[in-house]
Amino acid sequence: MPQHKFILDESRLPKAWYNINADLPVPPSPVLHPQTLQPVTPDFLGVLFPMSLIMQEVSTERYIEIPEPVREIYKLWRPTPMFRAVSLERALDTPAHIYYKYEGVSPVGSHKANTSVPQAFYNKEAGTKALTTETGAGQWGSALSMACNFFGLDLEIYMVKVSYGQKPYRRIIMENFGAKVFASPSDRTNYGRSVLKDNPDSPGSLGMAISEAVEVAATSNGAKKYSLGSVLGHVLMHQTVIGIEALEQMEMAGEYPDVVIGCAGGGSNFAGFTYPFLHQNFRNGKKTRVIAAEPASCPSLTRGKYTFDYGDTAAMAPVMKMHTLGHTFIPPGIHAGGLRYHGMAASVSAMVDHGDIEARACKQLETFQAAVQFMRTEGIIPAPESAHAIRVAIDEALACKKTGEKKVIAFNLSGHGHFDMMAYEQFNQGKLTDYEYPADKVDEAMKHLPKVA
Ligand SMILES: *Cc1c(COP(=O)(O)O)cnc(C)c1O
């Protein structure tokens, strides 16, 4: 009988994060100030972030040490298990071997705690009293509220209004950890009030909630800093504990992946899992294919433009070169809320553009079919976001069935779906639909890109 689980001892918890800046095949594009569209200075970023995180953003050191207090909290759930999906392989009747790294074992049920903990730590160390942030379905908000609770920081969360109404359980988790949660757009910010004036029934979006959280931090005279759960370089780097562990677990399994896959919203769990494998491609002659899976209704990598754009809807956040659908684009209300972001991390975008990373778009129904097939074989209920990676892994395994190839496929299962039961119910009742790619709305949003010289 093949081995199903590959478990690392606590002593194997990584001591450093992997920083892809050291190995990027294309030089990073400058980050621009949202008003001047000139390269940002550290003092501009310093309004929002502590200097230690800004330095991580620009560092080209290949490894950055994980502080001991962060490692200690990581040990509540890390190292996370790696499984071989033996039952899924059998159900697919594929010669491929399928592995998955499971991040749903964190206390908040997703990979996001891997960066919320260090971000709270560095802010505490810098003397920050409170953080502000946004959250969509609530995964990031719950991860940051746990971390702020551990380090004694106050936290103000702007939660996309449609999720605030539909997903009360995650809000209650945040409140249990001591955070204050507001439905966005709210009447607490100039930006929120301006949106409500034009559209009192606005369902909100991640881009709007980011604008509110940024405004609160930027106008707090230094009392509050802002924290982002994805997209930025330091966030992606914190997530590399996933891939560093996975490399060791693949070695335990006596195999090396031909294909690695992650779902991509802003790119953090994808990068966290795959960048240590890309490091092996860049430095040690490995040839693993790296695939980012995204929703067909919010397809920044497969249909977006690789250009400079704002990180948020109100054009207050820094401008970066990335694959974008336009910062004013509001994606359809798919259930994979964590993948509803107009842009993508700069390094992921640069490497997709350069051909180091492939991207695949998955429709909502085929994604839920993959989620249910996975649950019925492996037993774990995946987050709808993670199910995009499962879809691509299954498709790769089915391709192997056709060709008879015995590929090794590994994907990141970024979180569990215990709070997504309404989505599964709609799927079971045949009420879930595929959204068409909203070409008109994207075309319209593309008119509002910043005019960078
Ligand atoms: C937030 C989230 C994502 C998407 O964010 P990334 O930064 O792209 O990883 C994916 N899966 C889960 C479970 C999430 O909570």
Domain-by-domain residue ranges, the chain?
5-12+67-109+234-446
Q: Where are the beta strands (DSSP E) in 264-313?
A: 289-295, 305-310
Atom of ligand 1 nearest to the CA of 136: 1
Work out the angle at residue 265's Cα, subtended by the Cα atoms of residues 334 and 296, and round it to the nearest 5 degrees.
50
| All residues at 6 or more sequence positions from 239 whose CB lies less than 8 Å from its CB, including other chains | 111, 114, 115, 268, 269, 271, 272, 273
* Rounded CA separation 244/238 (Å): 11
Q: Which residues of the chain have pLDDT under 50?
A: none
What does the longest C-alpha to C-alpha distance in the chain come to? 63
Spatial distance between the Cα atoms of 65 and 59, rounded to a whole number of angstroms: 12
The answer to whether 396 and 426 have CB atoms below 8 angstroms apart is no
Give SS3 for 140. Answer: helix
Does 385 sit in the ligand 1 pocket, CB within 6 Å?
Answer: yes
How far, in Å, is the centroid of ligand 1 from the Cα of 298?
14
Helix axis angle for 168-176 and 139-151, nearest 10°, is 10
Instruction: Name which residue sits closest to atom 1 of ligand 1, judged by CA.
Output: 338
Whether residue 274 has its Cβ less than 6 Å from ligand 1: no
> What's the gap in Å between 2 CA and the centre of ligand 1?
30
Q: Tell me the CA–centroid distance for residue 265 and ligand 1, in Å.
A: 6
- Protein fold of 5-12+67-109+234-446: Rossmann fold (3.40.50)
The tens digit of pLDDT for each residue in 248-307 reads 999 999 999 999 999 999 999 999 999 999 999 999 999 999 999 999 999 999 999 999
Angle between helices 268-284 and 241-253 (to 10 degrees): 60
Question: Atom 10, ligand 1: which residue's CA is nearest?
Answer: 385
Backbone phi, psi, residue 132, to 5°: -120, 150
pLDDT for residue 6: 98
Please give the pLDDT value at position 334. 77
* 193 token code pair: 């009030």
* Rounded CA separation 167/172 (Å): 9
Q: What is the DSSP letter of 230?
A: S
Task: Give pLDDT, residue 368.
Answer: 98
Residue to probe by mutation, ligand 1, list 80, 101, 105, 111, most atoms within 8 Å of CB: 111
The whole-angstrom distance between residue 223's C-alpha and the CA centroid of its chain comes to: 27
Q: Indicate whether residue 262 lines ligand 1 (CB < 6 A).
A: no
Structure tokens that stand for 336 in this block: 């994979």
Sign of the Cα pseudo-torsion (242, 248, 253, 255, in order): positive
pLDDT at residue 346 in the model: 97
Q: Which of 205, 164, 170, 197 is nearest to 182 (CA)?
A: 164
Ligand 1 atom at minimal distance to the Cα of residue 267: 8
Q: Please choose from 235, 291, 339 the residue to mutate so as to test ligand 1's pocket, defined by most ligand atoms within 8 A of CB.
A: 339
DSSP one-letter code for 112: T
* Ligand 1 pocket, residue 230 CB under 6 Å: yes
